[in-house]
Chains A and B, each alone.
Chain A
Amino acid sequence: MADTIPLKGQAAHGASRLAPGPQGRKPRPMFSSRNIMIYGALIFAAAYYLLPLYVMIVTSLKGMPEIRLGNIFSPPVEITFEPWVKAWATACTGLNCDGLSRGFWNSVRITIPSTIMSIAIASINGYALANWRFKGADLFFTILIVGAFIPYQVMIYPIVIVLREMGLYGSLTGLIIVHTIFGMPILTLLFRNYFSSLPEELFKAARIDGAGFWTIYFKIMLPMSLPIFVVAMILQITGIWNDFLFGVVFTRPEYYPMTVQLNNIVNSVQGVKEYNVNMAATILTGAVPLIVYFVSGRLFVRGIAAGAVKG
Chain B
Amino acid sequence: MTGQAHAGRPNQLLRNLHSKIASIPMILTAVVIFLGGTLWTVFYSFTNSKLLPRMSFVGLDQYERLWAAPRWLMSIQNLAIYGFFSLIFSLVIGFVLAALMDQKIRFENTFRTIFLYPFALSFIVTGLVWQWVLNPEFGVQSVVRSLGWSSFTFDPLYNQSIVIYGILIAALWQGTGLVMCLMLAGLRGIDEDIWKASRVDGIPMWKTYLFIIIPMMRAVFITTLVIIASGIVRVYDLVVAQTSGGPGIASEVPAKYVYDYMFLAQNLGQGFAASTMMLITVAIIIVPWAYLEFGGRKRG
A242 touching B123, Cβ below 8 Å: yes
B contact residues around A184 at 8 Å (CB): 25-26, 29
- List residues of chain B with CB within 8 A of the CB of A79: none
A169 at interface, CB cutoff 8 A:
no
> Is the beta-carbon distance between A290 and B117 smaller than 8 angstroms?
yes
B223 cross-chain contacts in A, Cβ below 8 A: 308-310
Q: Say if the beta carbon of B30 comes within 8 Å of chain A.
A: yes
Tell me which residues from 1 to 33 in chain A have a Cβ below 8 Å from any Cβ of chain B. 2, 5-6, 8-10, 12-13, 16
Any chain A CB within 8 A of the CB of B103? yes
Q: Are B26 and A149 in contact (CB under 8 A)?
A: no
**In B228-246, which residues have CB < 8 Å from any A CB?**
230, 233-234, 236-237, 240-241, 244
Interface size on A, residues (CB 8 A): 99
**In the complex, B279 has a CB within 8 A of chain A:** yes
Tell me the complex Cα distance, A294–B113, Å. Answer: 8
Bound complex: CA A56 to CA B132 (Å): 9
The answer, yes or no, to whether A50 is at the interface (CB within 8 Å) is yes
Are B1 and A207 in contact, with the CB atoms below 8 A? yes
Interface flag for A222 (CB, 8 Å): no
Q: Is B189 an interface residue (CB 8 A)?
A: yes
* Chain B: minimal CB distance from A224 (Å): 18
> Once bound together, how far apart are the Cα atoms of A144 and B97, in whole Å?
34
* Proximity bits, B258-281, A CB within 8 Å = 1, else 0: 110011000010011011101100
Of the 9-residue stretches B37-45, B64-72, B150-158, which lies at the interface with chain A?
Answer: B37-45
**Cross-chain contact of B132 among A49, A72, A150 (Cβ < 8 A):** A72
Q: Is the interface of A mostly helix, strand, loop or mixed?
A: helix
Q: Which residue from A38, A71, A137 sits with its C-beta under 8 Å from B143?
A: A71
Q: Using C-beta atoms within 8 Å of the partner chain, give the interface range for chain B.
A: 35 or more
B30 touches A143 (CB 8 A): yes
Q: Which residues of A contact B140 (CB under 8 A)?
A: 72
- The CA of A278 and the CA of B286, in the complex, are separated in Å by 39
Let me know if B27 and A140 touch, CB within 8 A.
Answer: yes
- Is there contact, CB below 8 Å, between B111 and A42? yes
Which A residues from 273 to 308 make CB contacts under 8 A with B?
275, 278-279, 282, 285-286, 289-290, 292-294, 297, 300-301, 304-305, 308
A278: chain B residues at CB < 8 Å are: 128, 132
Residues of chain B lying within 8 A (CB to CB) of residue A141: 26, 30
Supposing A285-B124, A310-B223 touch, asked if A55 and B133 sit within 8 A by C-beta, the answer is yes
CB distance from A52 to the nearest CB of B (A): 5
* B219, A2: Cβ atoms closer than 8 Å: yes
Which residues of B in the span 53-67 have a Cβ within 8 Å of any Cβ on A? 53
Extra inter-chain contacts (10) besides given A52-B173, A157-B53, CB under 8 Å: A2-B189, A9-B191, A132-B16, A144-B29, A147-B33, A147-B38, A242-B121, A245-B237, A245-B259, A286-B122
